[in-house]
Structure 1
Amino acid sequence: MPRNETSGFGPHDVTMPQLGMAQDAGRLTQWLKAPGDPVTKGDALFEVETDKATMEVEAQAGGYLTHVTAAEGEDVPVGQVIARISDSADDDAPAPAPAPQSAPDEALPEGTQITMPQLGMAQDSGVLVGWLVELGAQVGPDDLLFEVETDKATMEVPAGASGYLAATLAQAGDAVPVGQVVAVIASNKPDAPVARGMAAAAPATKAAPKADVAPDPKPAAPAKPAQAAPAPAGGRILASPKLRRVALEKGLDLAQLVQAGHPQPFHMRDLDVLESLAATAPAPQASAAMSTIRLEAGCPEDGFTAFAQWAADVHGLHDADALLAGLAGASLDRAATVAVERFGASRVYDVPAARSLSAVTEAENPPDLRVRDLRMSALSGISIGAEDRPVLTILARGAGLALVLECTPAQLAPDQAIALLSEFAGRMHDPLRHLL
């Protein structure tokens, strides 16, 4: 049978999507394509019903519908594979096996189970960037519980239930399948909250490796690859979120891997190579060190967190990163483009000269200023040195904040640097002054 011109490279698993944060299953009410039918990306594939709505789900790839495993009228857990889009209607590869039903974990407290949400139709997992609530703390349904990163975006996820955070079943940096339980919210305050990572939750048996070649228990780092992967558009370095986070906490520069010709994308297995490159890098010259401006400021109280909640509740401004970029850009006293970075993920915003936070919009331009938000990290201080743009770093310090500005005189004159940090510190302490 001829290959469908819209087909991708290899089969694509079709999963039950998550159409709402609190949804853990959906009822497949109707297939809109029959097994063997040609499918084009964007075609309505099936209809699913939740307790909130009924919705047609589009195909995320082109090819032929095969290996249909869910029947009409069946309730299917979120993330479970229900069909496959193959390059041929005669695909004879083994059908995707349904996810095994694990026995209830008696060690977990009773309560509402919070699962990894599906933030995009083609998403099958998300990286947990960090928890935004302490274990054992009380939460409401609209309180932000954790931050998750996919290949498309980084998003803060609300709790969706009231109670106490009694269990966390993934750690920062863990890749969690869609629909897997990541937390439990109990109605009563737990005496012994449970904290686990994905490794502790892994099943005892694992799938057999695809190849019969035993992996090298300690692979040697290649001296230099024959050909490095091409640099992505815009100069963005391709690396896993976990490696970005660890490199940031250790003060390592991923650009050293690029300069050494190491192939992208980078993963945690490349950390040893990165550390060895940092250890052998020549010490900076005294003249270069003298050309770096480093200023520190402190805020006795963190006024931004409450301000962001107020802006969301009263004015519908739900993008906290846009608010942060707006306060930083306004501190430059001119229109600017500001990047907000958190554990390697970056979002860029255009900030107009007028003091209108609602006019801050996402952008694709190179930033004039970087804001590195490390409030959720364990770092108490930072000194990385000047980068390609001025960098404002935000650290937690008790109930307040520590702010660090690093730049060069070519990027900001000393009086401009002092004015920028002073204005930003004032806005982070009392963001309402920005509106005056």
Structure 2
Amino acid sequence: MLPAALLAALLPSALAGCGSRLPVRDFGGARPAASGPAAPAAPITVGIVASISSVLGTETFSGPSYGARAFFQALDAGGGVNGHPVRAVLCDDSGDGGDNQTCVHQLIDRDHAVALVATTAFDYAGAPYVSAQGVPDIGGQPIGSAYDQYPHLYQIYGSSEPRNGRSVGWNGVEYQTTEVYRWFEQRLGLHDAAVVSYNQAASAGYAAQLVQGLRAEGYRVLNETVDFALPNFAAVAAGMKAAGTRLLMDALDTQGNVALCRAMASAGVSVAAKVTNVQNWSARAGSDYSGVPGCLDALWVTSDSRSYEDVRYPAVAAFRAAMRRYYPSREPLLSQWELEGWAAAQWFTDAAGSCGAQVDRACLDRYMTRDQLYDAHRLLIPTDFVAEPPPTGPQHACLNVARWQGGAWVTQVPDMDTNCFTVPALPYRP
């Protein structure tokens, strides 16, 4: 089994298609007219499950919970949802499957949460119970396969999978689109890539997807595997130098990435782009790679969400303002996952706002499964949860791209909603 510290680093970047763009109806922000003193409305309880005190460290899975809680605090300061305050109950499952089940039962059975929001669970063992109870889980991070299998679970990036509870994807098959690789080929003119992974199942599986996508886009790919306990990164660097590698995509943890970058520096290897995943899109990149400036200067990231640095967008500016107000110590630790936690809370709030005076699970489900794209007030590439047949033929897929420059993440595309490609959908078994 892959060590936890590694698996956390292997979350895929933006590899899924997004469909066509349509305007999104905004249900958020409605406030009842003042009519004199009245009894306070009953609070709406939501649960937040996060693997905070896990062996991975407190920062690895905590980001979305901060973003969601900041949203709900700002929401309540403005009057709540149709006058109802939102009571957000956080449960730390410590990254353990048994503790995850305990959290799920506590939030559903004892706290009577109407929904879960921004779930970030290393081992989502409680997912079957959440689904069986019909509790909407809105805007969770797809760590593992639960969001690709169970109904009532709505990951932050949307899904067209049937999610019947029996199998992952379409009878055990999932698909990746290739817009990430297409972008780097077309924009940077890159044709030679390296994929580096550990000799562990999850690492190798993710690496296989990367290799599959790169080759489909015509890249010459150097596929390198190293031993997790005693990785020979010097040999990998030598191979990259001989192959003329210009694009590096890895299935490694941060420690392994830094060690690889050191070996590259020693061998005189530089790349035009070292692409990391959305989980590692954080303000900590500067300190993580401080000893390997060559890699830091080539660090790129892709996603299906708006950059947390892009305050020109009102929703991002609101997120940053709320984080400064409610969690000021988070400023040097801000991450894309925190923004996506905020987007998850926005999604719940718009769903709850559509319910009127009675917010219940059935109403939330109807909103989440409606045939209308949603973008969390321009924070997400528009998406939905309408089940469709397996993708065939070319797909329309969009992505956001950022690069670490001058101590910050700088967006590299005019608008992620129009940074789109027509690309193949490649089947694979997770």
For the aligned pair, the TM-score class normalised by the smaller chain equals: under 0.3
More helix by share: 2
> Which structure would you say has the larger RCO, counting Cα contacts within 8 Å and 6 or more residues apart?
2
